Structure 1
Amino acid sequence: MKKPNFYGKMGRTALSSLFYLFFLGLVYGQQPTKTSNPNDQWTIKWSASDEFNKNDPDWAKWIKTGNLPNTSAWKWNNQKNVKISNGIAELTMRHNANNTPDGGTYFTSGIFKSYQKFTYGYFEAKIQGADIGEGVCPSFWLYSDFDYSVANGETVYSEIDVVELQQFDWYEGHQDDIYDMDLNLHAVVKENGQGVWKRPKMYPQEQLNKWRAPWDPSKDFHIYGCEVNQNEIIWYVDGVEVARKPNKYWHRPMNVTLSLGLRKPFVKFFDNKNNAINPETDAKAREKLSDIPTSMYVDYVRVWEKSAGNTTNPPTSEVGTLKNKGFETGDLTHWDASTGTISAVSNNTKTGQYAGSVNNASIAQIVTLKANTSYKVSAFGKASSPGTSAYLGISKASNNELISNFEFKTTSYSKGEIEIRTGNVQESYRIWYWSSGQAYCDDFNLVEINSGASQLNENETETALEKGIHIYPNPYKNGPLTIDFGKPFSGEVQITGLNGRTFLRRNVVDQTSVQLLESKSKFKSGLYIVKISGPDGEVSKKILVE
């Protein structure tokens, strides 16, 4: 396997400690390499920026399992295929041992997908491609959820490819080579009640960009950037503008993503997607198998939003500590936002001068909690109108698994509390507040409590069957709801409301995973129970429908 060219890290191991600290100061205060207006001021967003200076990936920023892009030609396995060494993140594509198929696929790969979503901003990464040449595609891209509830003419799905390397694409009778890269736009638009794909080759003037580098991107690190604003999308390579398109459809909140995908000869493209083939029975794929495993390398990824100033250091919190608990900074410092409208407001407060406001949105803060410790999370919440609910919740940051939540139903402030018991390792959790309508929150608190006082000791009573099951996306908004059993499973799956009403029932026979829903038409926003019954017992898990 190729080793990356570490010159881009400035020989970090050889730096003196004084120069190293100076260098880090430059990194943390740095502005984008190049943007459309040099007078713009940008604030770096540490919730999706990473220098990869730790020994392990920061899974509080990046989704490790669950809610990753759907792929039909390979599987994601971040435990096996993501590592950090000498300040460089390495994403690897591997062939399954003994060519053993997994759901019809024969390869696994690694991916970074941010929890945080962005609609506009500047996105930049320093990347070295894979030495395999043709066969994989190192990618830096932004993509949204699918929302089929939008009106006709509006965007269901947005995708911006900051860069896709090594695709060896065919276009207008010519095949690209290692020097050619794609900087394209993809969208799904609602037309006559249906989602219609808009692909680059269908609409080249609006969506297709190809740029040929004077160097081989697999041989060294280069900086790939993209500015996304309300009017235009502008691409840069090493600080030089290489493409520009009007922003017609790309106004949805999108996750920041770096991934190593599979390409021909290991896949065949049809039905609008890359499909798996058996690499042992396809002659061209078998010939290339000796080049696998192969990796792409990422020196850093940085995300900025326009603002009046900059943060000079990433925000940090002590273990077991919430920051800006009552929004008294007058803004959402230490809190991240999802889709919808969020803000700190001076009306509808419980105490103090400010409160948090959400409208079909959530705000969240990531905290690190000690192992084998009981905690109580509390907050005051209220809905703006009768019939609207809001939820205080806590999830694992590594995979967004819902631990527990509390529902607010009244239009006056009441206190919600959640007790949890952490597992055997210190890890990060996401404390959040969400509503499908307008709601307010204030005076969050997180305290350590006596372990004997905990009434929600779920981690200690979790069975082997329950530990192997992952349900995603959770919270659920639209599209497929996936249950990953962790191993072949036979039994029954039910989704019920808190009132016991059964909304869905499915028999499963010897499957490692199952997709249950394509839309939430049956489900109102709220909390539901997924009940899984099989030979090893019965498991119930909660999902939140947004």
Structure 2
Amino acid sequence: MRLLPLLTSLSYLLLSLVPATAQKVVPHGVPGNWQLVNAFSDEFNGPKIDTQKWETHTRPWGERSWDPDNLVQKNGKLFITARYEPHTLGGTEYFYKLGILQSHKKTTYGYFEARIKGCSRFPGLCPAFWLYSNGRERNPDYPRVTYSEVDIVEMLQGLYHPELHKFTGPNFIDCNLHTRILDENGKEIWQRPNSLPELCRNHYIAPWDPRDDFHIYGAEISPEKIVWYIDGKKVAESENRYWHLPMTLALTMELRPPFIDWAGEATRVPVPEATTPDGFPTTMTIDYVRSWVRKP
């Protein structure tokens, strides 16, 4: 009579020891028949970052100076840290060292999900989970599109919201889109949340603070639309008018005001007088990142 409960307990124990990628893992709150895509998924259970899958050594982007030492994988999680560390690279002065994890391979359509806890510093940092194209590849079915970016989540931005007429708080979650398209004269035009808010701007005001605990952030990108989910709940949807290019999957810690300012549509510059070591280092934590495609 005692054998069945014992076998049941052993079964649960053995199941808990099987890696999540070997179990039946499905998106949270998104029905369908799914196939996990290993190239864009990681449980971070190994002793170090899988550099066959992920890139951590990246040259600076504008005001962003990336340091691979700011990424640590341990205890089944990935930690991405931002540090106050003034330095000079290529004649350019930087005040902070940040961290980026990005996939070697590219993808376009599917469902992408990560369980993330935000960093402690607010405002000034933005933990983000997103996809972006590098501007070199084209989709012949959408010849005018030169850049695609889907922000699955940008948290803790603390930006001024033109429609709300105020700066946003830490529980304001951004789920935005960015693209560049060619006009009739062949000039690249940015389409972004401020210039095309009806298509590119989405947000969710959470009843919790993303700095306090883990939450699951996801988005499904299909040829027809882009749908965002948080903790299995649908929070936003946009028509997929421009987001059809091959994109890199990325997890990043980036600077936000007061440490940077915008100089034009897409150019950011440091604000030296606002730099401070207060609140640094600060770290975002990723429990996992998983990606799927729908099976026929």
| TM-score higher than 0.5 | yes
Number of the residue aligned with 2:88:
101
- For the residues of structure 2 that align with 1:106 and 1:131, how far apart are their CA atoms? 19
How far off is 1:18 after superposition?
Answer: 6.9
Match of 1:231 among 194, 205, 224: 224
- For the residues of structure 1 that align with 2:250 and 2:88, how far apart are their CA atoms? 26
Per the alignment, in what secondary structure is the counterpart of residue 50 of structure 1? coil
Task: Establish whether residue 300 from structure 1 lines up as the match of residue 288 from structure 2.
Answer: yes
1:74 and 1:276 in contact (8 A); partners too? no
How far off is 1:149 after superposition?
Answer: 7.0
Task: Establish whether residue 270 from structure 1 lines up as the match of residue 263 from structure 2.
Answer: yes
Number of the residue aligned with 1:54:
46
- For the residues of structure 2 that align with 1:196 and 1:285, how far apart are their CA atoms? 32
2:226 and 2:239 in contact (8 A); partners too? yes
In the superposition, the TM-score normalised over structure 2's length comes to 0.89
- For the residues of structure 2 that align with 1:100 and 1:143, how far apart are their CA atoms? 27
1:150 and 1:190 in contact (8 A); partners too? no
Per the alignment, in what secondary structure is the counterpart of residue 177 of structure 1? coil
Task: Establish whether residue 118 from structure 1 lines up as the match of residue 110 from structure 2.
Answer: no
- For the residues of structure 2 that align with 1:83 and 1:18, how far apart are their CA atoms? 33
How far off is 1:150 after superposition?
Answer: 7.3
- For the residues of structure 2 that align with 1:104 and 1:17, how far apart are their CA atoms? 58
Amino acid at match of 1:240: K
- For the residues of structure 1 that align with 2:175 and 2:51, how far apart are their CA atoms? 27
Amino acid at match of 2:35: T
Per the alignment, in what secondary structure is the counterpart of residue 226 of structure 1? strand
2:137 and 2:246 in contact (8 A); partners too? no
Match of 1:259 among 249, 252, 262: 252
Match of 1:130 among 105, 113, 119: 119
- For the residues of structure 2 that align with 1:195 and 1:148, how far apart are their CA atoms? 15
Amino acid at match of 1:133: F
Per the alignment, in what secondary structure is the counterpart of residue 198 of structure 2? helix
CA deviations 1:434-461 (Å, max 9, x no partner) are xxxxxxxxxxxxxxxxxxxxxxxxxxxx
How far off is 1:147 after superposition?
Answer: 3.3
- For the residues of structure 2 that align with 1:181 and 1:24, how far apart are their CA atoms? 34
Task: Establish whether residue 164 from structure 1 lines up as the match of residue 173 from structure 2.
Answer: no
Alignment CA distance shift 1:290-1:43 (3 Å): same
- For the residues of structure 2 that align with 1:150 and 1:291, how far apart are their CA atoms? 43
In the superposition, the TM-score normalised over structure 1's length comes to 0.49
Task: Report 1:195-234 matches (<5 A).
Answer: 195-234=188-227
Per the alignment, in what secondary structure is the counterpart of residue 84 of structure 1? strand
2:107 and 2:247 in contact (8 A); partners too? yes
How far off is 1:86 after superposition?
Answer: 1.0
- For the residues of structure 2 that align with 1:49 and 1:82, how far apart are their CA atoms? 17
Amino acid at match of 2:267: K
Q: CA RMSD in A?
A: 2.1
Number of the residue aligned with 1:291:
279
How far off is 1:111 after superposition?
Answer: 1.0
Larger Rg: 1
Per the alignment, in what secondary structure is the counterpart of residue 76 of structure 1? coil
Task: Establish whether residue 87 from structure 1 lines up as the match of residue 76 from structure 2.
Answer: yes
2:71 and 2:80 in contact (8 A); partners too? yes
Amino acid at match of 1:277: V
1:226 and 1:233 in contact (8 A); partners too? yes
Per the alignment, in what secondary structure is the counterpart of residue 20 of structure 2? helix
Match of 1:73 among 63, 72, 78: 63
Per the alignment, in what secondary structure is the counterpart of residue 125 of structure 1? strand
1:105 and 1:277 in contact (8 A); partners too? no
- For the residues of structure 2 that align with 1:20 and 1:200, how far apart are their CA atoms? 47
How far off is 1:163 after superposition?
Answer: 0.3
Amino acid at match of 2:284: M
Amino acid at match of 2:158: F
Alignment CA distance shift 1:150-1:43 (3 Å): closer
Name structure 2 gaps, 5 residues minimum: 1-8
Task: Report 1:23-62 matches (<5 A).
Answer: 23-25=16-18, 27-28=20-21, 29-35=24-30, 38=31, 40-62=32-54
Alignment CA distance shift 1:20-1:71 (3 Å): farther
- For the residues of structure 1 that align with 2:17 and 2:244, how far apart are their CA atoms? 33
- For the residues of structure 1 that align with 2:201 and 2:213, how far apart are their CA atoms? 25
2:229 and 2:236 in contact (8 A); partners too? yes
- For the residues of structure 2 that align with 1:17 and 1:52, how far apart are their CA atoms? 25
How far off is 1:100 after superposition?
Answer: 3.3
1:113 and 1:257 in contact (8 A); partners too? yes
Amino acid at match of 2:88: P
- For the residues of structure 1 that align with 2:143 and 2:213, how far apart are their CA atoms? 43
- For the residues of structure 1 that align with 2:157 and 2:290, how far apart are their CA atoms? 24
Alignment CA distance shift 1:20-1:144 (3 Å): farther
CA deviations 1:50-95 (Å, max 9, x no partner) are 00001111111101324x6x522131111x1000121110000112
Per the alignment, in what secondary structure is the counterpart of residue 206 of structure 1? helix
Percent of residue pairs identical? 35
Per the alignment, in what secondary structure is the counterpart of residue 105 of structure 1? strand
Amino acid at match of 2:180: V
Q: How many residues align?
A: 279
Per the alignment, in what secondary structure is the counterpart of residue 72 of structure 2? strand
Q: Compare relative contact order (CA 8 Å, sep 6+) and give the higher one, 1 or 2.
A: 2
- For the residues of structure 2 that align with 1:128 and 1:238, how far apart are their CA atoms? 12
Amino acid at match of 1:57: I
